Amino acid sequence: MWAFGRVSGFMSLALFTVSVLLGILNRSGRPLLVLPRFSISILHRNIAVLATVFLGLHVGSLLLDSYAKLRPVDVVVPFLGSFQPFWQGLGTVALDLVAAVVVTAFLRHRIGQRTFKAVHWLTYGIWPVAMAHAIGNGTDAGSAWFLGLAAASGVAVVSALLWRLSAAFLETSKAREGNFL
Amino acid sequence: MSTTLHIDWTRCDGRGLCTELLSGVLDRDDWGYPVARGKLGRERTDVPIRDGDREAAQEAVSLCPVLALSLQERGVRMAAVEGTRRRG
C-alpha cells in the first residue's frame, strides 16, 4: 500500500502537469502537429480524469496504509495530519480543490460558463500546491529522478504560463490586432 | 423535423473547434469565427444541419469551450425567430 501510494501520487502529479499544459494550449486555440483542436480538448479532459483517478488511488491506498497514519478527516480538512501536517495539508488542499474543478467541469453545461471558468482558474493555484506537497512530503523527493522530473515540469508549466500571458498567445492574435490604418 | 445549430455571437470567440468538427458546414473567417458555407443572413446564426451532420454538431455543442453553440429543432425556435424578424 505504501509503495502504491507513492507511485500513484507521482503518476497523478505527472498527469496533472500534462493536463495543465494541454489546457493552456487548448486556450490558445492552436492545433498541435497532427492533433486537431477538439482532440486537444478531449485529451485535456481525459488526462485530467485519469490524473483524478490516480489521485483517488493515492489517497485511498494511503488511507488504508498503517504506516501513513492517515485519518478520514485528513482527506477533507487540511493541516491536521500526524506526520508533517503542513506538507500533508497542502495535499489535502489540492485534493479538495481538484474535486471542485472536476465537478464543475463535468457540470459546465448546467452551471454556465462563468462559474465553470471561475472555478477552473483555481488550477493555476492547485498545480504549485500539489508540487509543493510532492516535494515537501514525498519519500522520493530527495532522489535525482524525481527532482529532475519536478524541475522539468516546473520549467514547462512556467514557460506555458509566460506564453499564456504574452501578446501572441491566441492563434488569431495577429488578425485581431486591428489594422485600422 | 429539421435541426439548426444556433451560434450565440455574444459568446463565440472563434476558437475553431466547431469548424473542425463540421468542416463541411462551417468555414472559418480570418479572425477565426465560424461562417456557414454558402449561407446568408439568418442562416449564418441558425445554421441548418443535415441528419448526417447531426452527431458532429452535437459533439461541437458539447465541446465548444465557451458554450456558444446549441442545437435547436426548427419548430421549437420558430416563435423566437419571428420575433427577431419583425424588429429587422
pLDDT at A48: 93
Confidence grade of residue B79 (pLDDT, cut at 50, 70, 90): very low
Counted across chains A and B, CB pairs separated by less than 8 A come out at 38
B22 to chain A, minimum CA–CA distance in Å? 11
Domain B3-77 fold: Alpha-Beta Plaits (3.30.70)
Which residue in the set B17, B31, B66 is minimally distant from A38, CB to CB? B17
Domain coordinates in residue numbering, chain B: 3-77
Please tell me the least confidently modeled range out of A66-70, A153-157, B5-9, B58-62. Answer: A66-70
Q: In the predicted model, is pLDDT for residue B35 greater than 90? A: no
Pairwise CA distance, residues A93 & A86, whole Å: 10
Structural domain range at position A116: 2-177
Cβ count near A4 (within 10 Å): 15
Is residue A46 within 8 angstroms of chain B, CB to CB?
Answer: no
Q: Tell me which chain A residues have a C-beta less than 8 angstroms from the C-beta of B30.
A: 175
Closest CA to B56 of B6, B5, B2, B1: B5
Grid cell, residue A119, equals: 472555478
Q: Tell me which chain B residues have a C-beta less than 8 angstroms from the C-beta of A174.
A: none
Tell me the one-letter amino acid at A181: L
Taking each helix axis as running N to C, give the angle between helix A144-165 and helix A2-28, from 0 to 180 degrees, rounded to the nearest 10. Answer: 20
* ipTM entry: 0.74
Please tell me the least confidently modeled range out of A38-52, A70-84, A123-137. Answer: A70-84
Domain count, chain A: 1
Q: What is the pTM of this model?
A: 0.81
Is residue A176 within 8 angstroms of chain B, CB to CB?
Answer: yes
Q: In the predicted model, is pLDDT for residue B87 greater than 50? A: no
